[in-house]
């Protein structure tokens, strides 16, 4: 079929529902249609495309090769159409059932997700927020390919097609196990770099925020391990002589929950900020704008929880590139 002039595009909604459900009766329920109506629409689509599309199976239906090749483009087209229509429709978070996919770094997820989901439960119970992992290596790709509607991470300046908002200012602290030799004496650069360091790096990089700072001061640290997930950090620190430099908010949380010791970083650092980046096509989307405002408000509340730290980090972040 090459000419779409006589094609009923409503049939694609039926195709998408059957493809997702792999069952005609469940697809009918998804569309609020009767099962005969869906079967009739499928027969019309089969005639138009010259293919069976879905074959009967014991537990429902299975797609043909043509059907498999159509699933992704049809799903993407319908999702984009729904996004476009949603952008111009009135938005009420209390009654909305929209799904937002956002990309967050592990740190952004740790500090923003708990208050975000608490607010959603109170103010927008029908809204679903799905979180994907983001860092500087994949955030822009997720946004460009429509896999996420906004990203929050330590991100550089985007292209002109994207809007960037700065969020949390960052300070750092050092974590170590109780009784660690580093705790017995002044926190100097020499003593700080004398012990192996644990680095959290989801993308596997061995360059952390502190390495350039130390290099400029004529020092270097030795890595003892690199981990992809923060969940592994407390047990590693408790069982070794490694130390870790981490954003102070997460460091304080880990220290309180796992009984780790905290010390200040023994060198002045130029702190970075989390950035929120989104495509400019979402600027007029009322639902997207509501979510952006909510995340900005939550970030301000996080800073307010540590006012002295926030002021120190704000001063350090002036003129930074983050």
* Domain residue spans of the chain: 10-76, 99-167+272-317, 172-264
More confident call, 90 vs 177: 177
Predicted local confidence at residue 302, as pLDDT: 76
Please state, for a pLDDT cut of 90, what percent of the chain lies above it: 57
Q: Domain 10-76: which CATH class?
A: mainly alpha
Please answer whether residues 301 and 115 qualify as being in contact, where contact means their C-beta atoms are separated by less than 8 angstroms. yes
99-167+272-317 topology per CATH: D-Maltodextrin-Binding Protein; domain 2 (3.40.190)
Phi, psi of 21, deg, nearest 5: -85, -25
| Residue 113 to residue 289: CA distance in whole angstroms | 18
**Spatial distance between the Cα atoms of 280 and 259, rounded to a whole number of angstroms:** 44
- At residue 135 the predicted structure's pLDDT band, cuts being 50, 70 and 90, is confident
- CA gap 117, 23 in Å, rounded: 33
**What is the tens place of the pLDDT at every residue in 184-233?**
999 999 999 999 999 998 878 888 878 888 888 899 999 999 999 899 99
What six digits make up the tokens of 37? 């109506």
Tell whether the model's pLDDT for residue 116 goes beyond 50.
Answer: yes
286 conformational bin, left if phi > 0, alpha if psi -120 to 50, beta if neither: alpha
Q: Tell me, yes or no, if the two domains 99-167+272-317 and 172-264 fold the same way.
A: yes
Query: Is a pLDDT exceeding 90 seen at residue 104?
Result: yes
3-state SS class at 16: helix
pTM of the model: 0.64
Q: Which of 177, 174, 170, 172 is nearest to 186 (CA)?
A: 174
Residues 6+ apart with CB under 8 A from 102: 129, 130, 131, 132, 148, 149, 150, 151, 152, 291
CB atoms within 10 A of CB 87: 17
User: Which CATH code is given to the segment(s) 172-264?
Assistant: 3.40.190.10
> What is the predicted pLDDT for the residue at 23?
93
């Amino acid at each position: 079929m090459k000419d779409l002039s006589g094609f009923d595009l409503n049939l694609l909604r039926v195709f998408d529902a059957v493809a997702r459900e792999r069952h005609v009766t469940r697809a009918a329920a998804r569309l609020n249609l009767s099962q005969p109506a869906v079967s009739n629409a499928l027969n019309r689509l089969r005639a138009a495309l010259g293919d069976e599309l879905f074959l009967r199976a014991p537990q429902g239906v299975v797609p043909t090769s043509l059907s498999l090749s159509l699933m992704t483009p049809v799903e993407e087209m319908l999702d984009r159409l729904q996004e476009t229509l949603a952008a111009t429709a009135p938005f009420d978070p209390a009654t909305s059932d929209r799904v937002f996919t956002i990309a967050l770094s592990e740190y952004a997820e740790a500090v923003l997700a708990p208050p975000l989901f608490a607010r959603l439960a109170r103010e927008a119970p029908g809204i679903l927020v799905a979180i994907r992992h983001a860092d500087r290596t994949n955030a822009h790709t997720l946004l460009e390919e429509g896999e996420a509607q906004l990203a929050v991470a330590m991100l550089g300046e985007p292209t002109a097609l994207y809007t960037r908002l700065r969020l949390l200012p960052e300070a750092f602290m050092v974590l170590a196990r109780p009784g660690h030799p580093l705790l017995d004496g002044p926190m100097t650069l020499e003593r700080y770099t004398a012990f192996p360091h644990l680095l959290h790096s989801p993308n596997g990089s061995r360059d952390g925020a502190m390495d350039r700072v130390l290099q400029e001061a004529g020092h270097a640290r030795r890595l003892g391990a690199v981990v992809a997930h923060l969940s592994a950090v407390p047990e590693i620190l408790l069982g070794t002589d490694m130390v870790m430099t981490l954003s102070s908010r997460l460091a304080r949380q880990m220290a309180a929950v796992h009984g780790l010791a905290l010390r200040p970083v023994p060198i002045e650092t130029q702190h970075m900020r989390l950035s929120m980046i989104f495509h400019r096509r979402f600027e007029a989307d009322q639902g997207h704008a509501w979510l952006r405002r909510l995340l900005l408000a939550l970030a301000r509340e996080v800073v307010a929880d540590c006012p002295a730290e926030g002021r120190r980090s704000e001063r350090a972040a002036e003129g930074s590139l983050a």
